[in-house]
């Protein structure tokens, strides 16, 4: 199975996925830390992939998402964006309803 197929499978199996550097408990870059903290503040469960531990995913993900940087948040298989977008959506009140409807 190609790496892009594995990514698509993860996206199909998990309604909310954060591809990040590190883990939510131990982020390895500031942007990933902000994204994970924003998601954790909602109380909604999400899956994550540490792209530093999975370098093939790090290389292949931009091919799937057409989004060049990390972290990358996907909801229902659709790219939402990185930490700035996640934080803005949290602040505007858009993020929580989107997360809740995904996990419905």
Residues making up the annotated binding site for [2Fe-2S] cluster are 29
Token representation of residue 44: 């909604």
Tell me the binding residues: 29
Dist CA 32 CA 19 (whole Å): 9
The answer for residues whose C-beta is within 8 angstroms of residue 4's C-beta and 6 or more apart is 60, 63, 64
């Amino acid at each position: 199975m190609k790496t892009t197929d594995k990514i698509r499978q993860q996206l199909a199996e998990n309604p909310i996925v954060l591809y990040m550097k590190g883990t939510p408990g131990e982020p390895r870059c500031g942007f990933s830390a902000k994204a994970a903290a924003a998601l954790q503040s909602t109380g909604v469960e999400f899956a994550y992939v540490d792209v530093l531990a999975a370098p093939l995913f790090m290389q292949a993900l931009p091919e799937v998402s057409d989004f060049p940087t990390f972290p990358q948040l996907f909801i229902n298989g659709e790219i939402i964006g990185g930490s700035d977008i996640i934080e803005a959506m949290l602040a505007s009140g858009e993020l929580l309803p989107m997360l809740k409807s995904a996990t419905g």
